[in-house]
Amino acid sequence: MNKMLVTGKKVTKSAMLWPDIERIVKLMDSGREIVIMVDDDIMNLTVGKNALSEKYQFLSAPSGKKLFSLMEKISPDLILLDIAMPEMTGYDVIKILKADPRTVGIPVIFLTAKIDPESEIEGLSLGAVDYLYKPFLPELLIKRIDLHILFEKQKKELQNYSRSLEGEVDQKTKTVLELQNAILKTVAELVECRDSVTGGHIERTQHYLSMLVDFLLEHNIYTDELASWDIGLFIMSSQLHDVGKISIKDEILLKPGKLTDEEFEEMKRHSEYGLNIIRKIEESATENEFLHYAETMAVSHHEKWNGTGYPYGLKGNAIPLQGRLMAIVDVYDALTNARPYKTAFTHEKAIDIIRSERGAQFDPLICDAFLLHEKEFSKRETETNAHHGVFEKQESADKLQTAIKMVANIVDVRGGTDGGHTDSMQRILKLFIDALADHESYREEVSVWDQELFLMSAHLHDIGKIAVHDSILNKPSELTNDEHEYYKTHADFGVKVVKQIKENVVNENLLHHAEALIGSHHEKWDGTGYPMGLKGSGIPLQGRIMAIVDVYVSLVNDRPNRGRKTHEEAVGIIRSGSGTLFDPELVDVFLEREREFIEVEL
């Protein structure tokens, strides 16, 4: 037996490295990925064990038969498979693996002395993810295994949020839908935080709308129109009914006393502002049904049945049903909760006020249904709407992108731009990522990213600005030191927003890129950035990339305190920041491709 170890002759018995099953089962909770190497050459198994055991939970099998016996107890993350083995070749083994739904997804790398192209093509055609030659370099083997295990994780995450099923909805699809709803909920709550209103307003009005729709259907009121709606989308869209308040100045929005006539006229414009914000998103969003509900709700929920409302003075049934429904639940919630200008009314007083407005402010039929069930509205619940199950049937990808773009447009509007900053930023970012994918230093890391998710997440990079005071965010002159310190808090606030969203989703890994981008794109290569003063390669790659793109796009666009720079001026500023503000290697890649960026419509 020792002679076999020295010479590397073929072993027909499995006593040498064959693992003890009970020992392996106990080790399965170690948290490390499991790699099984299948080879009838004891020398190869020994080299593989020495190379991989430090990083992975390494197991060996001297034959295909022993592999399948081992897999009755263990499911590996990756299999290294020799081709030329007695009894059962590697080709025979992979055919069995790929024919079994329980093992079809396990990545297989052929590790073989067969170096002819025909063998490699056959192995890859049978479903192998890679093909390496013996003798192998341990370092190269580890890198290939790292890459394929990371790729498999990314693939599984994509499957978790891209699959939409008819009938019984798969739990994996819920991940994206929960993320979408959590983003919209967070945006709505941020809008209301500026208005000194608790985020509970969103959940309460959603719940009240859900109840009210049920009561209308129960009493055969407006059933024909309601039957044509996607009720789930309608309820979800109610989160954005006051999104236009993001454009109202703080001194009006937060005023504790009564508004002047001029101030009230400005406040009334939030309905039209909301409509405009949502319409900007419609220009590039593919999911328009959701946006139609949102814009109708935003612009019409302050219209009154008698025609004295705003912004258009619509009357009676000319007011969209969505707005008439939101009007009554919005007023009820406003009456029964404290506002800067008033204390909370009792349920009974709120009901008296609503009853008195029947046929004046409110649709009398809707008002009757509300009053008939008014006691049920007093029993507030904190759970989200009763129609949550309807959301699970939606297509995921377009709606998630629409939700994130909603956030980006709101940030742009508050920052005094026309909503194009994030669009142009994303186009430049895509070109830059493509360049990095071709670059030796960054190819490996960038190649394992879900690039679509990365680009989608980039829309959120400045979400923290939503909490910065107007007087600072839109100041036409240079900020003072104190103002700049306050402005810098937007990075920390943005990270808090993402963490708030993560509390509402199952797969928080979907927000990995967003959190890295938000928290690190203002860090500087020399350690003088914020919020954490990270330095050099200690700054996440996502943040180092975004730092260059964000500065470039900012420079070539107008800002409240300065005019736009030419492409050449912007490139010169980035070049001068190499090694101080920016990662010098990334700057080199940027400069190699900078002529491509000038062609992007900004």
Q: Report the alpha-carbon distance of residue 347 to residue 106 in Å, rounded.
A: 59
Does one domain contain both 369 and 259? Answer: yes
Average the pLDDT over 107-114 and give the result.
Answer: 90
Q: Report the alpha-carbon distance of residue 502 to residue 286 in Å, rounded.
A: 25
Q: What are phi and psi of 55, to 5 degrees?
A: -100, -35
Q: Residue 92 pLDDT more than 90? A: yes
Does the residue 317 lie in any domain?
A: yes
**pLDDT digits 0-9 by tens, 142-159:** 999 998 988 888 887 776
Q: Report the alpha-carbon distance of residue 545 to residue 596 in Å, rounded.
A: 16
Does the residue 396 lie in any domain?
A: no
Does one domain contain both 146 and 185? Answer: no
Portion of the chain with pLDDT greater than 70, in percent: 74
Does the residue 38 lie in any domain?
A: yes
Q: Residue 323 pLDDT more than 60? A: yes
Portion of the chain with pLDDT greater than 90, in percent: 34
Average the pLDDT over 68-72 and give the result.
Answer: 89
Contact 326, 205 (CB under 8 A): yes
Does one domain contain both 326 and 247? Answer: yes
Does one domain contain both 376 and 420? Answer: no
Contact 521, 546 (CB under 8 A): yes
Does one domain contain both 100 and 31? Answer: yes
Q: Report the alpha-carbon distance of residue 74 to residue 90 in Å, rounded.
A: 19
Total count of domains within the chain: 3
CATH code of the domain containing 183: 1.10.3210.10
Structure tokens at 456: 């989608």
Average the pLDDT over 456-484 and give the result.
Answer: 78
Does one domain contain both 94 and 191? Answer: no
Numbers of helices and strands, H then E, in the chain = 31, 5
pLDDT at residue 494, rounded to an integer: 79
Q: With helix as H, strand as E and coil as C, how does 76-109 read?
A: CCEEEECCCCCCCCHHHHHHHHHHCCCCCCCCEE
Q: Which domain holds residue 16?
A: 2-162
Does the residue 517 lie in any domain?
A: yes
Question: Which of 391, 406, 423 is where one domain is finished?
Answer: 391
Q: What are phi and psi of 108, to 5 degrees?
A: -120, 130
Per-position DSSP letters for 516-570, written without gaps between them? HHHHHTT--TTS--SSS---GGGS-HHHHHHHHHHHHHHHTS-BTTB-PPPHHHH
Q: Residue 516 pLDDT more than 90? A: no
Higher-pLDDT residue of 399, 240: 240
Does the residue 404 lie in any domain?
A: no
Per-position DSSP letters for 233-291, written without gaps between them? HHHHHGGGTTGGGGGS-HHHHT-SSPPPHHHHHHHHTHHHHHHHHHHHHHTT-S-HHHH
Q: Report the alpha-carbon distance of residue 144 to residue 463 in Å, rounded.
A: 37
pLDDT at residue 219, rounded to an integer: 94
Higher-pLDDT residue of 194, 3: 194
Confidence of residue 398 (pLDDT cuts 50, 70, 90): very low
Roughly what angle, to the nearest 10 degrees, separates helices 171-194 and 200-218? 120
Does the residue 407 lie in any domain?
A: no
Does one domain contain both 454 and 536? Answer: yes
| 110 bridge partner residues | 81, 131
pLDDT at residue 195, rounded to an integer: 54
Q: Report the alpha-carbon distance of residue 320 to residue 66 in Å, rounded.
A: 69
Tell me the residue type at 295: E
Does one domain contain both 110 and 33? Answer: yes
Structure tokens at 378: 């007093």
Does one domain contain both 145 and 178? Answer: no
Task: Look at 1-15, 62-76, 131-145 and tell me which has the smallest mean pLDDT.
Answer: 1-15
| 34 bridge partner residues | 57
Does one domain contain both 298 and 338? Answer: yes
Average the pLDDT over 14-37 and give the result.
Answer: 64
Does the residue 408 lie in any domain?
A: no
Mean pLDDT of the chain: 79
Average the pLDDT over 421-436 and give the result.
Answer: 81
Does one domain contain both 285 and 343? Answer: yes
Task: Look at 232-246, 350-364, 396-410 and tell me which has the smallest mean pLDDT.
Answer: 396-410
Contact 529, 523 (CB under 8 A): yes
Average the pLDDT over 350-356 and give the result.
Answer: 95
* DSSP secondary structure code for residue 582 in this structure: B
Contact 82, 44 (CB under 8 A): yes
Does one domain contain both 178 and 67? Answer: no
Handedness of CA 502, 507, 508, 513 (dihedral sign): negative
pTM for the structure as a whole: 0.47
